[in-house]
Chains A and B, each alone.
Chain A
Amino acid sequence: MNDRVVITGLGLTCAIGGSADECFNNAIAGKVGIKEVKSVEHSACYAHIGGEYNEFVTPEGEDRASALCIKAATEAVTDSGLDVSADPSRVSVVIGSCVGGAVSIEKFYRDYVADPGKASGEDVLKMPISAIANNVALKFGAQGAVDNVANACAAGTMSIAIAADLIRSGKADAVIAGGSDPMSSLAFSGFHALHALDSEPCRPFNKSKGIALGEGAGILIVESYEHAKARGAKIYCEVLGSGVSSDAHHITAPAPDGEGMQSAMERSLANSGIKASDVDYINAHGTGTPLNDTSELGAMLRVFGQDGKVSCSTTKSMVGHCLGAAGSVEAVMCVKAIERGIVPPTVGYTEEDKAAMREKAGDFDFVPNTGKQRKVDYVQSNNYAFGGNNASIIYAKEGVERSLAQPNKERIFITGFGIVSPLGNTEEEYAANVNAGAAAKRCENCGDYISAVGKEDFDAVGIKLNFYRKLDKLSQMTCVSGKRALANAGITVSDENSRKIGIVAGTSDGPQTDIANFQKGIIASGTQAGSAFLFPNTVYNAAPGYFSIAAGVKGYNVTLSNGAASGIAAVAFATRVLHTTQNDVILAIGADEDSETVHMLYEKAGAIAAGMTPGDGAVTVVLERESSANARGAKKYAEVLGSGFAHCPTEFGKYGCAGKLKEAIGLALRESGVSAGDIGMVMTCTNGVNSLEEAEKDALADFAGAKKVSVKALCGEGRAASSALSVAHAAMMLGGVIDGGEGEYALVLGASVGGSYNALVLRKA
Chain B
Amino acid sequence: MDAKQREIADKIKKILVEDLRLPEEDLTDDAKLFGDDIGLDSVDSLEIIAGIDQEFGVSMMGVDREHFQTIETLSKYVMDNLDK
Contact = CB atoms under 8 A, between A and B. Distances in A.
Interface string B29-57: 00000000011100110110010001000
Given A194-B43, A464-B39, A466-B39, A529 B21 contact: no
Contacts of A525: 54
A43 B43 CA distance: 23
B40 A533 contact: no
A748 interface: no
A525 B54 CA distance: 9
A463 interface: no
Contacts of A464: 39
A193 B46 contact: yes
A282 to B, nearest CB: 29
Given A252-B43, A469-B20, A193 B50 contact: yes
Contacts of A465: 23, 26, 39
Given A464-B39, A469-B22, A533-B20, A195 B50 contact: no
B47 A533 contact: yes
Contact of B40 (A194, A466, A529): A466
Interface string A193-204: 111000000000
A536 interface: yes
Contacts, number: 36
A697 B72 CA distance: 66
Contacts of B54: 525, 529
B46 A532 contact: yes
B39 A531 contact: no
B7 interface: no
A685 B20 CA distance: 38
Interface string A176-197: 0000000000000000011100
Given A194-B43, A466-B38, A466-B40, A532 B50 contact: yes
Contacts of B21: 469-470, 533
Contacts of A533: 19-21, 43-44, 47
B39 A195 contact: no
Interface in B52-74: 54
A252 B44 CA distance: 12
Interface in A520-565: 525, 529, 531-533, 536
Interface hub of B26, B43, B46 (most chain A Cβ within 10 A): B43
Nearest to A466: B39
Given A469-B20, A469-B22, A470-B21, A531 B40 contact: no
A464 B40 CA distance: 12
A529 B43 contact: no
A527 to B, nearest CB: 12
Contacts of A531: 19, 47, 50
A466 B38 CA distance: 6
A536 B20 contact: no
Dominant SS at the B interface? helix
B22 to A, nearest CB: 6
B39 A532 contact: no
Contacts of B46: 193-195, 532
Contacts of A529: 50, 54
Given A469-B22, A525-B54, A532 B47 contact: yes
A628 to B, nearest CB: 35
Contacts of A532: 43, 46-47, 50
Nearest to B46: A532
A194 to B, nearest CB: 7
Nearest to B23: A465
A311 B55 CA distance: 50
Nearest to A533: B47
A193 B50 CA distance: 8
B48 to A, nearest CB: 9
A228 B51 CA distance: 57
A195 B49 CA distance: 12
Interface in A589-627: none
A31 to B, nearest CB: 34
A414 B19 CA distance: 40
Contacts of B43: 194, 252, 532-533, 536
Contacts of B47: 193, 531-533
Contacts of B20: 469, 533
Nearest to A468: B21
Nearest to A470: B21
Contacts of B23: 465, 469
A165 B20 CA distance: 41
A387 to B, nearest CB: 14
A506 B24 CA distance: 34
Nearest to A253: B42
A360 B19 CA distance: 40
Interface in A135-186: none
Interface string A27-46: 00000000000000000000
A470 B40 CA distance: 10
A466 B21 CA distance: 10
Contacts of A193: 46-47, 50
B25 to A, nearest CB: 11
Nearest to B38: A466
Interface hub of A195, A252, A470, A532 (most chain B Cβ within 10 A): A532
A642 B19 CA distance: 46
Nearest to A525: B54
A525 B50 CA distance: 11
A521 to B, nearest CB: 9
A533 B42 CA distance: 10
A475 to B, nearest CB: 12
Interface hub of A194, A465, A533 (most chain B Cβ within 10 A): A533
A194 B44 CA distance: 10
A520 to B, nearest CB: 13
A159 B38 CA distance: 39
A193 B46 CA distance: 7
A450 to B, nearest CB: 19
A464 B41 CA distance: 14
A78 B54 CA distance: 51
Interface in A456-473: 464-466, 469-470
A531 B38 CA distance: 20
Contacts of B40: 466
A465 B38 CA distance: 8
Nearest to A521: B19
A532 B26 CA distance: 22
A464 B54 CA distance: 30
21 contacts: A464-B39, A465-B23, A466-B38, A466-B39, A469-B20, A469-B21, A469-B22, A470-B21, A525-B54, A529-B54, A531-B19, A531-B47, A531-B50, A532-B43, A532-B46, A532-B50, A533-B19, A533-B21, A533-B44, A533-B47, A536-B43
Interface of A: 193-195, 252, 464-466, 469-470, 525, 529, 531-533, 536
Given A466-B39, A533-B43, 10 more contacts: A193-B50, A195-B46, A465-B39, A469-B21, A469-B22, A531-B19, A532-B46, A532-B47, A533-B47, A536-B43
Q: Which 5 A-B pairs have the closest CB atoms?
A: A466-B39, A532-B46, A533-B47, A469-B21, A532-B47
